[in-house]
């Protein structure tokens, strides 16, 4: 059972990025690059949104 919000985000981002990379790229090198970029985009955008929403907890 995952109890950490951050670990949940990391796991979700990795799995979804992996599927999209396998769907959208044809070579291993391109897939790895896509996974890294998509994973970073997921995580960083979530952290940025969380930070922007932090003044409005309710």
Q: What angle do CA 45, 46, 51 make, to 5 degrees?
A: 95
Under the rule (CB under 8 A), what is the footprint of another protein? 1-3, 8, 11-12, 15-16, 18-19, 22-23, 26
Residue placing its CB nearer to another protein in the complex, 3 or 29:
3
Closest approach of another protein to the CB of residue 18, in Å = 5
Measured CA to CA in angstroms, residue 14 lies from 21, 48, 53, 57 at distances of 10, 18, 24, 27
Residue placing its CB nearer to another protein in the complex, 2 or 41:
2
């Amino acid at each position: 059972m995952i109890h950490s919000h951050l670990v949940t985000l990391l796991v979700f981002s990795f799995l979804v990025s992996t599927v999209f990379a396998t769907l959208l790229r044809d070579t291993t090198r391109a897939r790895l690059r896509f996974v890294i970029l998509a994973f970073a985009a997921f995580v960083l955008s979530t952290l940025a949104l969380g930070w922007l929403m932090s003044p409005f907890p309710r």
